[in-house]
Amino acid sequence: MLDGDTRAFIIQHSGCEPKDEALWIAALTHGSTGEKRNYERLEFLGDRVLGLSVAEWLYQNSEEAEGRLSQRLNALVSRATCARIARDIGLGPHMRLGKQARDDGGLDSDNILGDVMEALIGACFIENGFPAARDMVRSLWTDTLAGKTGKRKHPKSALQEWAAGNRRRMPEYRLVERSGPDHASRFTVEVSVHNVGSAQATANSKQDAETQAAEEFMRKFG
């Protein structure tokens, strides 16, 4: 059964009264608890609902070409963005994790926060349909949609264009280290350009580490 604080949290941020409590509990439950129902299937669904909701908003509110729309969409629905919004609304304390996952910092993991955020969107979709889930997304993403997320050139694209413009070889990315448990992995990536230099970054996913490494390279050499 949902406790009072979590029920109020769901109503506040989904705009809907939970009817099937087991559904919402599953959306908040990490596999480390050992419970059969967890957020994984709901996260799969919520990810698609989020993508469609944001894509529709972009189509309605922007005259940009397909390439720029895709760039913004990818940034707006990224794991990092989902996790940031989850932190902004205080999702962490309502998540249900096993002791080991908690001890490993799971309550502040981008991977887990992002997945649970999408699972809650999935739960809203199942109980109330797409219009309600879309309204939930637009409410939670209001400031992000109106801001500059995804408007600037992606760091990896910027680095590739910089290398080409300066007649350098294309950037090479190398996984230096992977550490931590599966649910809270940390990836260290190095990017290098021949005869220029290299830069490293560490993040919760290999993709994010590559992005941050490219950004650090441009800060140092660009």
Binding-site annotation: residue ranges for Mg(2+): 43, 115, 118
Q: CA-to-CA distance for 218 and 222, rounded, in angstroms? A: 4
The answer to whether 151 touches 211, Cβ cutoff 8 Å, is no
Q: CA-to-CA distance for 103 and 93, rounded, in angstroms? A: 14
Q: Which long-range contacts (CB under 8 A, 24 or more apart) does 162-170 make?
A: 162/218, 162/222, 163/193, 168/193, 168/194, 168/195, 168/196, 169/193, 169/194, 169/195
Alpha-carbon dihedral 25, 98, 86, 27, rounded to 10 degrees: -20
Helix (H), strand (E) counts: the chain = 11, 3
Annotated binding site: 43, 115, 118
Question: CA separation (Å) from 61 to 36, 54, 143?
Answer: 41, 10, 14
Residues with catalytic annotation?
47, 118
**What backbone torsions phi and psi does residue 199 show, to the nearest 5 degrees?**
-150, 150
